[in-house]
Amino acid sequence: MREISLTLFEAFKAILSVPPTCGAPPLINSAPPPIIRVYALTVSRRLANMPLLPILATNPQEIYALDLRQVVALCGNGRLTDGSECSQELRAFFKDAPSEHLFRYIETCLDEGFDKSGQVLQDIVNELGRRLDFDVQNGNYSGRQNSIGFDGIWSAPDARALVVEVKTTDTYRINLDTVASYRMRLIDAGQLDRTSSILIVVGRQDTGDLEAQIRGSRHAWDIRLISADSLIKLVKIKEDAEESTVARIRELLVPFEYTRIDRIIELAFTAVTEIGEAIEKEEAPVADEPSNESVLSATRSTQERTPKEVIEALRQKIIAALSAREGVPLIKKSRALYWSTDIERVVRVACTISKHYDKSDSYWYAYHTDWDKLLSGAQKGYYVLGCSDIGAGYAIPLSWIQNKLQELYTSDDGGTNPYWHIHLVRKGAELVLRGDRSGRDYPISEFAVSLGN
């Protein structure tokens, strides 16, 4: 049955993409209605008894092209209830999805409200909490007797825990006493301590009525309010900046006295600074014949940077190919860092891109100590080098690159951002990593990632 069903799946795909014969009208338009596409996927999937995620692993673009409602329909039996297979599979799907798709799904929940859109929004908001490196416990969709009705609990070692409440709109007044009671019951049950607070996430930007309600209540010092759009912006900042920004972002989500706004200004300044520093991390200072630290550092001011759009396009292509090769979804942790979605983050990647330097026919990169620390905690760590002019990528195993570090030059930026200089040169028909201290060359062709060019 499975083989027959998979054949049917391919047949549906062929029908949907078949070009019309000369002069004859097409059976289906070149862009078939979404309902037909989701029907094809749903029928083939259920006949084959395949869960959604394996289909996602082999045909991600087919799944991500679907409307959010269609994705929900493909999960389990399509009925989103507490503890259902549909719920488990949908949450696993969101966990594996790139952040940009989560942002789009939030817009669908808010702009095109549909049956269970509130529950779907709750799951996506909780996933955004994970993207901010919180440990997240999903709550129930609806209240049940003898259960505590929170939508989510977000916790982190360096942050106060948050009891999260998700609302699509503030049109209706929220019973703040009820929300506060969830927190107190969790404290009484030993699941939270009294430093915890409440975060209400509202779908719409216009939250004036709810703000006034919170300010006038006795719970004002225990509650913070944020729109879904602003939460998305925090995730974007986090994914474009460096690790130290994450803790500051989390501070903004807990109540604090802000007559003095230094903490907010500090976050804004740090985020802008670190995004700039993250861009600089893409390439080490370049010298045609690096002989010492001073020569390497002196070239920083004159170095030309690879355009951001070129870097990001190639990086996303390499990460997608590496994810398919390893058989695990890889999501963005910060600008150049990615990791798998399992609890242990068994696969971790630092992916950096260089332009081609014509004068020396070479590519230059940096390998940072914080990257090395993150990769060292994985079962599989890869330092991935992209070459922007030829659209190539090389996934170098962590142990291989670590064994070559003593042969490389280093810089430390005054002790704040130490890194090794990675130098690729062309030797005949292949690229080699050059140990500039030792003069040895190491071919890297075995680490090439197939990008399907």
Q: What is the largest CA-CA distance in the chain?
A: 74
If one looks up domain 286-447 in CATH, what number appears?
3.40.1350
- Residues β-bridged to residue 253: none
If one looks up domain 113-280 in CATH, what number appears?
3.40.1350
Q: Can you tell me the mean pLDDT for 105-131?
A: 95
DSSP letter, residue 418: -
Q: Can you tell me the mean pLDDT for 269-282?
A: 58
Q: What percent of the chain has pLDDT over 90?
A: 53
Is 0.85 topped by the overall pTM? no
User: Between the CA of residue 36 and those of 33, 41, 77, 113, 411, what are the distances in Å?
Assistant: 6, 9, 18, 21, 57
Rounded Cα gap, residues 242 and 334, in angstroms: 6
What backbone torsions phi and psi does residue 92 show, to the nearest 5 degrees?
A: -65, -35
Rounded Cα gap, residues 86 and 441, in angstroms: 53
Q: What is the chain's percent helix, strand, coil content, to nearest 5?
A: 45, 20, 35
Check pLDDT > 80 for residue 231: yes
| Lowest-pLDDT range of 64-68, 153-157, 273-277 | 273-277
| Max mean pLDDT range (37-41, 48-52, 86-90, 304-308) | 86-90
Nearest to 199 by CA among 160, 232, 238, 144: 160
The alpha carbon of residue 108 and the mean position of all alpha carbons in its chain are separated, in whole angstroms, by 19
Rounded Cα gap, residues 272 and 323, in angstroms: 30
Q: How many CA atoms lie within 13 A of 361 on its CB side?
A: 8
Instruction: Please tell me if the domain spanning 113-280 has the same topology as the one spanning 286-447.
Output: yes
Q: Can you tell me the mean pLDDT for 367-375?
A: 93
Q: Is 68 helix (H, G, I), strand (E, B) or coil?
A: helix
pLDDT tens for 413-452 read 555 668 999 999 999 889 999 999 999 999 999 999 999 7
Q: How confident is the model at residue 380 (pLDDT cuts 50, 70, 90)?
A: very high
> Which residues, 6 or more positions from 139, have their beta carbon under 8 angstroms from its beta carbon?
122, 149, 150, 151, 152, 153, 164
Instruction: Indicate the domain borders of the chain.
Output: 1-97, 113-280, 286-447
